[in-house]
């Protein structure tokens, strides 16, 4: 049974601010209009809970929700999401039946995958709406933009054979927010490929390319749809852009309880490998959270926490289940006190960007690494509840 954070026996948990999530989405929607949103809720909405997030954002009437696998899409269907769901990384040969069963759109990542999706759909007397990826520089998937003259007639032939219908054509920007010239070049290659498709007789209903960074950038990148992800959840990695929405609100807050408070003498060692040695008398609090919960080991001797709104350092190595912080500067800390590892406590905030920088990683990894044994707790939306579903 999942415990509520109100229960002192709950060691650690993740709080998700659905009202903040909504405000972030509204900022993007206002900025990119008339383009429509495709909120990316893959990887369990970047670790925050896909069903709760999708139910919240569904009220904004996005074009679709984006996931990576049919299983993720089917989970949303079981959670009551009826809106269009696009699976952006399907295995065409193995998963076409799952797309049909759950009523999901699929991405065609190559000419071969488009053919296989069409063949499987025809075999099952069904039809799959497909989103055709064009590779303009990402290099991992998609029909190569430079060879569009060769593959455009083949795409037209497959579409005319039934089983699939074209819902959109898209690409992935690899340096939006950091290299405007490169991003403009990718956009030009996408448009050139679309011109080839149209010359081959293919009607392209919708065009999209923008991730969060591009969505916050120049309007030329917005096209018909924007696939917004990390911005919704409180992250922003790109450069400052005039006229872009304000920085997003923090949506996630990771909290843990103090298990023990210990007074250590000068010269005492802390954690595995004696990674830290006290230089004087120090008071350390042992927290009920570790790297098995998603607190990166790389935060050892580098990360920070908030105790009663005061910043304190992590001491020693982050362990699998517990972590020590120095509370010498905070009076009256006791077992069961609540400590914040990500998010706001009073006037202070540990941001997603700060945690990522301290851990030497990216904001996406910080969120998606949050462990499944942490209850997800929601506030400020249709899934407002004392605890999550896990």
Annotated active-site residue 42? The verdict is yes
Q: Do residues 324 and 314 make contact, with C-beta atoms less than 8 angstroms apart?
A: yes
Q: What is the dihedral sign for C-alpha 333, 337, 342, 347?
A: negative
CA distance 150 to 142: 14
* Marked catalytic residue, from 46, 233, 272, 291: 272
CA distance 210 to 189: 14
Residue 123, classed as helix, strand or coil, is helix
Extended beta strands in 182-251, E state? 207-210, 225-226
Longest dimension (CA), the chain: 78
Annotated active-site residue 291? The verdict is no
* Marked catalytic residue, from 42, 233, 276, 291: 42
Kindly give, in sequence order, each residue whose CB lies less than 8 Å from that of residue 171, ignoring residues fewer than 6 positions away: 133, 134, 135, 136, 138, 142, 145, 186, 189, 190, 209
CA distance 19 to 249: 10
* Residues forming beta bridges with residue 66, ordered by sequence position: 40, 86
Torsion, CA 315, CA 317, CA 323, CA 327, rounded to 10? 0
Distances (CA, A) of 93 to 112, 129, 347: 10, 16, 53
CA distance 200 to 188: 19
Relative orientation angle of helices 70-78 and 92-102, to the nearest 10 degrees: 10
Q: What is the dihedral sign for C-alpha 31, 37, 38, 41?
A: positive
Residues marked as catalytic: 42, 272
């Amino acid at each position: 049974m999942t415990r509520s954070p109100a229960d002192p026996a709950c060691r650690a948990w993740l709080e998700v601010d659905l009202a903040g999530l909504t405000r972030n989405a509204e900022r993007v929607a206002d900025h990119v209009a008339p383009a429509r949103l495709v909120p990316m809720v893959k990887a369990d909405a970047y670790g925050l809970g896909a069903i709760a997030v999708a139910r919240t954002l569904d009220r904004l009437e996005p074009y679709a929700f984006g996931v990576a696998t049919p299983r993720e899409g089917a989970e949303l269907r079981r959670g009551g999401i009826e809106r269009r769901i696009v699976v952006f990384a399907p295995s065409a040969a193995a998963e076409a039946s799952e797309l049909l069963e759950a009523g999901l759109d699929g991405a065609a990542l190559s000419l071969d995958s488009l053919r296989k999706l069409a063949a499987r759909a025809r075999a099952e007397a069904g039809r799959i709406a497909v989103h055709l990826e064009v590779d303009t520089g990402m290099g991992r998937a998609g029909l190569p933009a430079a060879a569009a003259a060769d593959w455009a007639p083949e795409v037209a032939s497959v579409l005319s054979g039934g089983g699939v219908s074209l819902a959109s054509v898209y690409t992935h920007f690899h340096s939006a927010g950091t290299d405007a010239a490169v991003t403009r070049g990718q956009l030009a290659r996408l448009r050139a490929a679309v011109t080839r498709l149209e010359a081959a007789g293919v009607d392209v209903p919708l065009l999209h390319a923008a991730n969060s960074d591009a969505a916050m950038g120049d309007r030329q990148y917005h096209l018909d749809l924007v696939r917004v992800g990390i911005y919704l959840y409180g992250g922003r990695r790109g450069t400052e852009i005039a006229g872009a929405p304000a920085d997003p609100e923090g949506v996630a807050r990771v909290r843990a309880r103090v298990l023990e408070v210990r007074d250590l003498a000068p010269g005492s060692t802390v954690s595995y490998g004696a990674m830290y040695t006290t230089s004087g008398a120090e008071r350390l609090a042992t927290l009920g959270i570790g790297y098995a919960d998603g607190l990166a080991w790389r935060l050892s001797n580098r990360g920070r926490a908030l105790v009663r709104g005061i910043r304190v350092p992590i001491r020693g190595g982050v362990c699998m289940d517990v972590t020590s912080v120095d509370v010498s500067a905070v009076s009256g800390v006791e077992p069961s006190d609540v400590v914040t590892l990500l998010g706001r406590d009073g006037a202070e905030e540990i941001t997603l960007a700060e945690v990522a920088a301290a851990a030497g990683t990216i904001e996406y990894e910080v969120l998606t690494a949050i462990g499944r044994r942490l209850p997800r707790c929601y506030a400020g939306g249709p899934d407002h509840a004392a605890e999550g579903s896990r």
